[in-house]
Chain A
Amino acid sequence: MILDSLEIDRAAFEAGTGWQLKPEGACKGDVCIPLRPAPGARVNVSDVARQMGLPLVEDKPHGLWALGPESIGGRALTTAEAPELVLPDLDGNAFRLSSLRGQKVLVYAWAPY
């Protein structure tokens, strides 16, 4: 996720990373990474990133950071539970992949190049 500050709201962290902040730590599917101290309403991104092993890459000239994904399991997927995917359609309307629960879904990646 792209950041212009390293202090962000808990909800923004959860939506941006797919990790839920619970009393037992940061959790995705049935995997939890303990965090000390447990984050409150605001998340100190560099501290949490270090504890979770998430890469934090800075672009100084633009005042931006990108927080990358986890690699604790050594695989792109930490769990087989499909992550929430929210992307716009051509008209900019957000679509949630979870709205298709109850159907089989094939997500097809293509590109115009």
Chain B
Amino acid sequence: MWQALRNEYHPLGFELVTVGLDALGAEGCRAFIEAARPAHPSLIDQHHVLAELFGVINIPQSIWIDERGMIVRPAETAPAPPGPPRERAIQPDMPLPPRFMEIMGEAMKIPNDSASYHEALRDWVHNGAASRYAMSPEQVIARSRPRDEPIARGHAHFELATELERRGDHAAAIQHFRQAHRLVPDSWTFRRQAWSLERGMEGALARFWQGPPSDDPESWPYEGDWLTDIRKTGAENYNERFNP
């Protein structure tokens, strides 16, 4: 659906750049990108530089950049365009385990601001700097994520983690992921990335399990997991609401 939107806006001087955040690099993203066959640039971000450079803390999020290279909206939740519910990307070939039913139950409770976000996007594509959704440089900076020294340090630990993952030292990577989680507690991507590299189950849905394996829960190396953390946060707070 993003592609249809991109094709509609492209003649108006708009381009979509999709960036897959994954410590597994191209191999982690390949199946999804090849299935989508994008006409727009589709990039791989193995070390989550979008977190460091733009303050991305969850997916999906977007950043809007104008013709002169100025950010006019900092990282914020980017819901899929309004439309009929899309087919699931992955069709399970077996009944889902109870944990998945619970995960899907929580995911269904996450609010969706698609209509207001996409009204704003349409307005910006057509009106540019005159759009009331295009922010001033001062607003853009003030609306970007808070960052103090511990948070900055957490980003450094996360980069070490993805680098060690790339080098195949998973045990060492876990220690840096844990530090990153402690220092940047509001980043869902830092947690989801680390959780997705553990094997809670086999098969196509393995990376979405994101929690202790049923047969050996003590082996789970992290404080939280997707289901525990979203219940603690509340699904209604998982994404910040669209704020014009």
Instruction: Tell me the A residues contacting B by CB distance below 8 Å.
Output: 1-2, 18, 53-57, 59, 61-62, 64, 66-71, 73-83, 85, 87-90, 92, 95, 97-98, 100-113
- The verdict on B15 contacting chain A, using a C-beta distance below 8 Å, is yes
Chain B nearest Cβ from A35, distance in angstroms: 18
Chain A nearest Cβ from B89, distance in angstroms: 9
Measured between beta carbons, the chain B residues less than 8 angstroms from A103 are 13-15, 67
- The verdict on B178 contacting chain A, using a C-beta distance below 8 Å, is no
Measured between beta carbons, the chain A residues less than 8 angstroms from B45 are 87, 109
Q: Are A109 and B67 in contact (CB under 8 A)?
A: no
Q: Give 1 or 0 for each of B118-133: 1 = CB within 8 Å of chain A CB.
A: 0001001100100000
Measured between beta carbons, the chain A residues less than 8 angstroms from B207 are 112-113
Q: Are A106 and B20 in contact (CB under 8 A)?
A: no
Q: In the assembly, what is the distance between CA of A57 and CA of B32, in Å?
A: 34
- The verdict on B189 contacting chain A, using a C-beta distance below 8 Å, is yes
Using known A-B contacts A69-B147, A75-B147, A82-B71, determine if residue A2 contacts B163 with beta carbons closer than 8 Å: yes
Measured between beta carbons, the chain A residues less than 8 angstroms from B72 are 80
Chain A nearest Cβ from B167, distance in angstroms: 8
Chain B nearest Cβ from A32, distance in angstroms: 16
Chain B residue at minimal CB-CB distance from A67: B156
Chain B residue at minimal CB-CB distance from A105: B65
Q: In the assembly, what is the distance between CA of A102 and CA of B154, in Å?
A: 35
Q: Are B63 and A106 in contact (CB under 8 A)?
A: yes
- The verdict on B201 contacting chain A, using a C-beta distance below 8 Å, is no
Q: Are B192 and A109 in contact (CB under 8 A)?
A: no
Chain B residue at minimal CB-CB distance from A80: B137
Using known A-B contacts A64-B160, A67-B156, determine if residue A88 contacts B78 with beta carbons closer than 8 Å: no
Q: In the assembly, what is the distance between CA of A95 and CA of B176, in Å?
A: 29
Chain A residue at minimal CB-CB distance from B207: A113
Using known A-B contacts A62-B164, A109-B56, A113-B196, determine if residue A104 contacts B65 with beta carbons closer than 8 Å: yes
Q: In the assembly, what is the distance between CA of A75 and CA of B141, in Å?
A: 7
Q: In the assembly, what is the distance between CA of A92 and CA of B45, in Å?
A: 11
Q: In the assembly, what is the distance between CA of A102 and CA of B149, in Å?
A: 35
